[in-house]
Amino acid sequence: MAAIHRFNGTDRRFDWEYVKTITYEDGPAKNVTGKIIIGRDEGAKYFVFRYFCVEPGGNSTLNDYHAHDHGVLILHGRARVTVENQVFELSPMDILYIKPWEHHSLSPIGDEPMGFLCVIPNKEMLKKIETERND
């Protein structure tokens, strides 16, 4: 069955019906809120569709890296994106692809929050595929 989460936010607050907010105040990700818009709860087997908002002075996990790739779309604000040793400045509607095992982080530029959509593979499915491949 399809799952629909209607947008019920504003141009400054991105929210969808029935989607919980996760807060990352201080840790690997700082001053960040996140939402899993489509994932396990909606029955998605192969991917996870997420939204993150990074407040000024905050950042995604610094120097993050892992076995899966990412598709990232900047929705609002400006972003400083570091991938390996390269630094990029992105604006709304810019799209970024991050390959597996590339070190990466995102942070806002200026005094506006920066929000982005991020699509990743379902990590449980990746583990299952890897386990089957190694058997």
CA distances from 119 to 27, 81, 95, 97, 109 (A): 22, 16, 11, 10, 22
- pTM over 0.75? The answer is yes
The larger pLDDT score, comparing residue 128 to residue 7, is at 7
SS3 of residue 130 by DSSP: helix
Q: What is the DSSP letter of 135?
A: -
Read off the pLDDT of residues 14-31 as tens digits, 9 standing for 90 and up: 999 999 999 988 778 999
Identify the pLDDT of residue 50: 97
- State both tokens at 112: 């506006």
Number of CB atoms found within 10 A of residue 50's CB: 20
Identify the pLDDT of residue 113: 96
Domains of the chain from N-terminus onward: 22-134 (2.60.120.10)
